[in-house]
A and B are shown apart, each in its own frame.
Chain A
Amino acid sequence: MQNNTRKVLLIDDNEIDLKINSRIISLTQIFESIITCHSGEEALSYIHRHLNQPEALPDFILLDIQMPEMDGFEFLEHFKILPAHFIQRCPIAMLSSTLDFGDITRAEANPYIIKLLKKPLNPAELSALFI
């Protein structure tokens, strides 16, 4: 992946995890700024609002799996119909505490997912995606 990544979007319904992961990511200094959303819906609406402002759009998404109403996989269904120019610039990694075999195989099979990261987020594993 390219090195000029600047913005990361975190999608997680858990406030504490958002806080922890934001902090871990800011300590790694991989990204210039962090956008946090508490749900897939909120993230989609953010993306839609900023489709004409590329500088405000994320370059990478960290997506939780278990969320109420729209879970991570459903978010991906909405993600894939977004404009191609955005999809191409914004890879996604899932970030989950899941031990569920079904979740793991599903995440690995999804073409938009470059990696399934396990919580707690390991900074070295995250950095490895950008080398």
Chain B
Amino acid sequence: MSTPGIKVLYIDDEENNLQAFKASFRRLYEIYTALSAEEGLKILQNVNIHIIIADQKMPNTTGVEFFKSIIHTYPDPIRILLTGYTDIEALADAINHGDIYRYITKPWNDLELHNSIKNAYDAYRAKIDLRNKINELEKTNEELNRFIYSISHELRAPLVSMMGIVDLVKMENMYQSSGEYWSLIENCSNKLDYYIQKTVQYYKNNKTVTEQTDIQFDAVIADLVELYAYSDKETRFTIHVNQTAAFVGDIFRIEVILGNLISNAIKYQKSNEPNKKVDIAIDVNALQAEITITDNGVGILNEHLEKIFTQFFKSKHHPGTGLGLFIVKEALNRINGKISVKSILNQGTAFKITIPNAK
């Protein structure tokens, strides 16, 4: 029943009590005793104490006063208060200001005190373990931050140089000079860049705190369409924005959501469709924004509709990265938005999003 290594400090102005405590528990714990708060403090300064037991009624400094005085300097040890009489006021004070774990009446019962000390030690371990875990998590988090930073800088910079070289090859009319090799390199670089961008986007969505700003949907959507339609001039966009009220929302996530959906609407067009089109309809009122993005592209198989929002889901015929819609769903979750999808294979897909107005 011995639990060695538990360091207990017992403070009491009555020498007899200290002796009795030692006699009962010296085989069970590493015991330190002090006749006054001042003496107790000296021991605390030199020994890493786990549990402090203090008598309430002592000259100069009472037990509660002592506990209060060390609450910031020695927050870790678990405190047990001993009193010879039931002093409700002292007790209330102890609980409210002294961070007391247990209250035990004198004369103590050995078994009760022993159990209290054991429980107190468990509480001590839990406290320390929790703090270590938090430190560990903070460290991991910081490493993750650095890792993402290096992905978005160090890892991407040389890739972007490669993309620049491919651009030069095109500008100097050498793109066809080695069969399809240049176009293969270009494909691979673009794919890698897309993955990097999506990874960073996913991470930012998880980390960034929601920031509410005024949103003018007509301006936002025009910018996004310009950004994503840049590489594809064939798709025709029809945009209707009907914003009857001011809208307040998280612009970063709304751009992530709409950007991914618009880029998908362009990406999943039928290659032989002469009339590629995307319709975007936005209705904004005081309660919410309702956005529908409809394309006449390849569509989604019925049995896939359930899975398209899960991470790394890819369809066999038109594989993507399996990240775009997953990020859309994650970002919507953060801002309490909803998404639904309707699709007919080979005819097109319509995504409908609702985002609450935070105004």
Decide if A14 is an interface residue (CB 8 Å cutoff).
yes
Residues of B within 8 A of A20 (CB): 161, 164-165, 168
B197 touches A123 (CB 8 A): no
Q: Does B171 contact A (CB under 8 A)?
A: yes
A 19-55 binary contact with B (CB < 8 Å = 1; else 0): 0110110010000000000000000000000000000
With A and B bound together, what is the CA distance between A122 and B168 in angstroms? 10
A123 CA / B170 CA spacing, docked (Å): 12
- Give the interface segment out of A2-10, A80-88, A98-106: A98-106
Is B157 interfacial (CB-CB < 8 Å)?
yes
For residue B125, which residues in chain A have a CB less than 8 angstroms away from its CB? none
When chains A and B are docked, how far (Å) is the Cα of A88 from the Cα of B165?
33
Q: How far is the CA of A79 from the CA of B208 in the complex (A)?
A: 33
Contact at B167–A120, with CB atoms within 8 Å? yes
What sequence of 0s and 1s flags, for each residue 23-58 of chain B, a beta carbon within 8 Å of any chain A beta carbon? 000000000000000000000000000000000000
Closest to A64 in B: B157
B161 with A100: CB separation less than 8 A: no
Question: With a CB–CB cut-off of 8 A, which chain B residues contact A101?
Answer: 204, 208, 252
Known: A98-B152, A99-B200, A101-B204. A14 touches B157 (CB 8 A): yes
Q: A24-B164, A120-B167 are in contact. Are A100 and B152 (CB under 8 A)?
A: yes
Fill in one digit per residue for B182-214: 1 if any A CB lies within 8 Å of its CB, else 0: 000000000000001100100010001000000
Q: Which 4 A-B pairs have the closest CB atoms?
A: A120-B164, A97-B160, A99-B152, A20-B164
* New contact pairs (20) apart from A23-B168, A27-B171, A97-B160, CB-CB < 8 Å: A16-B158, A16-B161, A17-B157, A17-B161, A17-B164, A20-B168, A24-B164, A24-B171, A27-B168, A66-B157, A97-B153, A97-B157, A98-B153, A100-B149, A100-B152, A119-B157, A119-B160, A120-B161, A120-B164, A120-B167
Can you report 17 residue pairs joining A to B where beta carbons are below 8 Å apart? A14-B157, A14-B161, A16-B158, A16-B161, A20-B164, A20-B168, A23-B168, A24-B167, A24-B168, A24-B171, A27-B172, A98-B152, A99-B152, A99-B156, A100-B152, A119-B163, A122-B167
